[in-house]
């Protein structure tokens, strides 16, 4: 079977937005909550408080995203919900009124598409919420509800709020706020398929699927793909799977996954023994213990051998998300760790994804701290912003960085070098993660790159041998 994935994703740079925390508008369209008592924007976020970010605010920032070089936005959930993160869905057909409702989203979609920015939504299809109409009917009417078989009811009475009693229904991760759908019920399955189709027809460019590994109904994700792609063959389907994802990346289900198998070794290599274990242990990825270049090369080559190349080019690569601490905080505030990891992210096959605020040096420990309000420009780390912008620009300019082969050239001690090659376009990337200046040389068969594209380091060619001098904690890109 020939695997087909959306071509635009191979050239995209994604930006992940947590809508409550990115931008709060003073928009004249805003009819509701003009005088709401939001949490202070700059204060530390809480688990249940709202800061009042909305989609009008995102529209106001689209020019900023375009100037940064962003070509696709992935939103964490935007549908009506009684939680600031909106993973507790009330209504899959209504954008949350706090965000501006369906009219704001339609305006955002049009404004983004006018700038050639794609929009991918978060699909939370494993579970709903206590406020979801069908489940709420069961809470009101008990065994008389017509929707009983939509969920996993185990006994009576249901106890949706009082933890002293058994819930008597299945909640995701034993959380009674999140009743799990019965995906074996054909009506439930059809309901979810129609939601997926509705928003693709509305104009979105793809779905990011929350905990899709929890849905084991036979043929579910194959049908999901068939029905989404029938409407838009170029729609992107990306699953939130943190581990080996071969069973979903066979070409019949997802186009890619959130590539934590790239994230973990990249942080372990660039941040090394700076990693704050309290920010990463007991998580679903392991960016520790520290590794050197040889181990990094081995792990990256294993990753690149895991899936077909067509899938590698549409993986969603990331250094942080709303589910992790931010890399700056994981690395104990060490900016060089972030810089080196960002350089590796933006030169790797697949679509890089930047978590809002990382590009301006926003710190954040584990949730809820990693979901802070996007800072005012006066608080940006301008150096961090500039290297993000420069590396994104370089990726857009060099086709090899997007779809070229990936060849490891050198991996010893603290120095790692690789080439991206597409026909005559050759880019060579070298990083030194160590605390001492390094001088290395290695053979490079028939690959010449004479121009320094990014760096503090020096290089010279001696026939087919490349000699590099790299300061401590730095990187070099040649083209």
What tens-digit pLDDT sequence spans the chain (479 residues)? 899 999 999 999 999 999 999 999 987 777 777 778 899 999 999 999 999 999 999 999 999 999 999 999 999 999 999 999 999 999 999 999 999 999 999 999 999 999 999 999 999 999 999 999 999 999 999 999 999 999 999 999 999 999 999 999 999 999 999 999 999 999 999 999 999 999 999 999 999 999 999 999 999 999 999 999 999 999 999 999 999 999 999 999 999 999 999 999 999 999 999 999 999 999 999 999 999 999 999 999 999 999 999 999 999 999 999 999 999 999 999 999 999 999 999 999 999 999 999 999 999 999 999 999 999 999 999 999 999 999 999 999 999 999 999 999 999 999 999 999 999 999 999 999 999 999 999 999 888 888 999 988 999 999 899 999 999 999 999 99
Cβ contacts of 192 within 8 Å, gap of 6 or more: 125, 181, 183, 224
Q: Do the domain assignments include residue 58? A: yes
435 in the same domain as 365:
no
250 in the same domain as 120:
yes
Alpha-carbon distance of 477 to 394, in angstroms, equals 10
387 in the same domain as 474:
no
Q: Do the domain assignments include residue 322? A: yes
Give the domain CATH number at 465: 2.60.40.1180
Cβ contacts of 140 within 8 Å, gap of 6 or more: none
**CA dihedral of residues 393, 395, 396, 398 (deg, nearest 10):** 120
Cβ contacts of 55 within 8 Å, gap of 6 or more: 19, 78, 95, 99, 100, 104, 105, 107, 108
371 in the same domain as 310:
yes
- DSSP secondary structure letters along 406-452: EEEEEEETTEEEEEEEETTEEEEEEEE-SSS-EEEEEE-TT----SE
CB atoms within 10 A of CB 101: 19
Give catalytic residues, as residue numbers: 210, 240
Q: Do the domain assignments include residue 89? A: yes
Domain hosting 97: range is 7-126+181-397
pLDDT confidence of residue 313: 98
CB 108 within 8 A of CB 53: no
pLDDT confidence of residue 35: 78
410 in the same domain as 373:
no
Q: Do the domain assignments include residue 149? A: no
CB 396 within 8 A of CB 347: no
Q: Is 72 helix (H, G, I), strand (E, B) or coil?
A: strand
Cis peptide preceding 289, ω within 30 of 0: yes
Instruction: Single out the residue of 473, 477, 420, 432 nearest to residue 454, CA to CA.
Output: 477
343 in the same domain as 311:
yes
392 in the same domain as 301:
yes
% of the chain exceeding 70 in pLDDT? 100
Angle of helix 260-270 relative to helix 293-306, nearest 10 degrees?
170
409 in the same domain as 392:
no
- Evaluate the CA torsion angle 265, 271, 277, 278 in order and state its sign: negative
Bridge-based pairing state of the strands 14-17 and 72-75: parallel
Contacts of the segment 392-396: beta carbons below 8 A, 24+ positions apart = 392/13, 392/68, 392/69, 392/70, 392/346, 393/69, 394/346, 394/453, 394/454, 394/477, 395/13, 395/69, 395/346, 395/347, 395/352, 396/11, 396/13, 396/69
The model scores a pTM over 0.95: yes
Give the domain CATH number at 346: 3.20.20.80
300 in the same domain as 215:
yes
Q: Do the domain assignments include residue 160? A: no
Bridge-based pairing state of the strands 14-17 and 351-355: parallel
338 in the same domain as 465:
no
What is the CA 433 to chain-centroid distance, rounded? 25
Cβ contacts of 61 within 8 Å, gap of 6 or more: 22, 23
CB atoms within 10 A of CB 366: 18
CB atoms within 10 A of CB 173: 9
What is the CA 237 to chain-centroid distance, rounded? 13
Domain termination residue (choose one: 369, 397, 425): 397
pLDDT confidence of residue 118: 99
Q: Do the domain assignments include residue 157? A: no
pLDDT confidence of residue 337: 98
Residue 9, CA distances (Å) to 126, 263, 385, 474 in order = 25, 19, 23, 29
β-strand partners of 440: 468
C-alpha radius of gyration, the chain, whole number: 23
Domain termination residue (choose one: 373, 397, 421): 397
Domain termination residue (choose one: 376, 397, 418): 397
pLDDT confidence of residue 29: 75
pLDDT confidence of residue 455: 87
202 in the same domain as 119:
yes
CB 357 within 8 A of CB 384: no
Beta strands in 240-394 (DSSP E): 256-257, 316-318, 351-355
**Total structural domains in the chain?**
2
DSSP 346: T
Q: Do the domain assignments include residue 136? A: no
pLDDT confidence of residue 479: 95
Q: Do the domain assignments include residue 69? A: yes
89 in the same domain as 28:
yes
């Amino acid at each position: 079977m020939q695997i087909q994935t959306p071509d635009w994703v191979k050239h995209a740079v994604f930006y992940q937005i947590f809508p409550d925390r990115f931008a709060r508008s003073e928009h004249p369209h805003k009819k509701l909550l003009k005088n709401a008592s939001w949490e202070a924007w700059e204060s530390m976020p809480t688990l249940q408080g709202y800061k009042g970010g909305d989609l009008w605010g995102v529209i106001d920032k689209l020019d900023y995203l375009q100037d940064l070089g962003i070509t696709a936005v992935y939103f964490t959930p935007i549908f009506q919900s009684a939680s600031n993160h909106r993973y507790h869905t009330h209504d899959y057909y209504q954008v949350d009124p706090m965000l501006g409702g369906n009219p704001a989203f339609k305006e955002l979609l049009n404004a983004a598409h006018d700038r050639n920015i794609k929009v991918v939504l978060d699909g939370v299809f494993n579970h709903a919420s206590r406020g979801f109409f069908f489940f709420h009917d069961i809470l009101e009417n008990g065994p008389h509800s017509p929707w009983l078989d939509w969920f996993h009811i185990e006994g009576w009475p249901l106890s949706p709020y009082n933890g002293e009693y058994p819930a008597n229904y299945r909640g995701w991760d034993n959380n009674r706020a999140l009743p799990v759908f019965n995906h074996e019920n054909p009506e439930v399955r059809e309901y979810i398929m129609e939601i997926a189709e509705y928003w693709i027809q509305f104009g979105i460019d793809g779905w990011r699927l929350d905990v899709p590994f929890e849905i084991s109904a036979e043929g579910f994700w194959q049908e999901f793909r068939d029905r989404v792609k029938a409407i838009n063959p170029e729609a992107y389907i990306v699953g939130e799977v943190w581990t080996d994802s071969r069973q979903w990346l066979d070409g019949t289900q997802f186009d890619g996954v959130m590539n934590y198998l790239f994230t973990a070794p990249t942080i372990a290599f660039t941040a090394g023994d700076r990693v704050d274990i309290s920010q990463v242990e007991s998580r679903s990825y392991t960016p520790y213990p520290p590794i050197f270049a040889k181990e990094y090369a081995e792990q990256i080559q294993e990753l690149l051998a895991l899936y077909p190349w067509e899938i590698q080019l549409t993986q969603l690569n990331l250094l942080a998300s709303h589910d992790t601490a931010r890399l700056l905080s994981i690395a104990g505030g060490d900016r060089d760790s972030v810089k080196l990891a960002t350089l590796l992210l933006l030169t790797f096959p697949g679509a890089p994804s930047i978590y809002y605020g990382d590009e301006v040096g926003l710190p954040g420990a584990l949730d809820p701290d990693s979901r802070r309000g996007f800072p005012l420009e006066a608080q940006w780390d301008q150096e961090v912003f500039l290297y993000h912008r420069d590396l994104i620009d370089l990726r857009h300019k060099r086709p090899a960085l997007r779809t070229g082969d990936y060849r490891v050239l050198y991996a010893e001690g603290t120095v790692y070098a690789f080439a991206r090659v597409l026909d005559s376009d050759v880019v060579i990337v070298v990083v030194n993660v160590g605390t001492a200046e390094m001088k290395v040389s290695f053979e490079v068969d028939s690959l010449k790159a004479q121009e320094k594209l990014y760096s503090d380091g020096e290089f010279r060619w001696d026939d087919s041998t490349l000699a590099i001098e790299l300061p401590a904690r730095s990187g070099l890109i040649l083209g």
